[in-house]
Amino acid sequence: MRAWLAVASTLICTAVFGHGSEQWINDASLVDPVSKILCCGPTDCSALAPGSVERVQGGYKVNTGRWPGYDPFFVEWDRALPFSPDGHYHICITQDVEMLIPNLRCFIAPPSSA
């Protein structure tokens, strides 16, 4: 079942929409190190504004500015992917269709910060 889900997710990520400036996340086939879920999605990923990420005990406090009531997110150290080629933080979040709850897919950090 997971294999089918991964294949379906990959097809959706690559065939349905372009990713714009976050296309590199899809091209690198980045996967969350804990959940093993692909990071990409048609509109899931975005660069975070400078100052919106704070290193705290056990991980990162991340304020996306897009999820009132859920911001800031806490991202554990082991979920950070140290692969950001531009030196900025990026986050990929999907939304539960029925309940409108954000679901963190991936958090990408500059290599020097992870």
- Model pLDDT, residue 114: 57
Parallel, antiparallel, or unpaired: how do β-strands 80-81 and 102-108 relate?
parallel
Residue 113 in domain: no
The token pair at 83 is 């692969």
pLDDT tens digits, residue range 39-57?
Answer: 876 678 999 999 999 999 9
| Mean of pLDDT values over 13-29 | 66
Quick count: other Cβ atoms within 10 Å of Cβ 1?
A: 5
Helix (H, G, I), strand (E, B) or coil at 85: coil
pLDDT at 106: 94
Q: Assess if residue 114 is contained within a domain.
A: no
| Overall number of domains in the chain | 1
Give the pLDDT confidence of 90-106 residue by residue, as tens digits: 999 988 777 788 989 99
Coil, strand or helix: which one is 1?
A: coil
The answer as to whether 81 is a domain residue is yes
Instruction: Give yes or no for a contact between 54 and 60, defined as CB atoms under 8 angstroms apart.
Output: yes
Position 74 in a domain: yes
| Full residue range of the structural domain in which residue 14 is found | 2-108
Answer yes or no: is 91 within a domain.
Answer: yes
Nearest to 70 by CA among 106, 100, 108: 100
Over 80: is that where the pLDDT of 5 sits? Answer: no
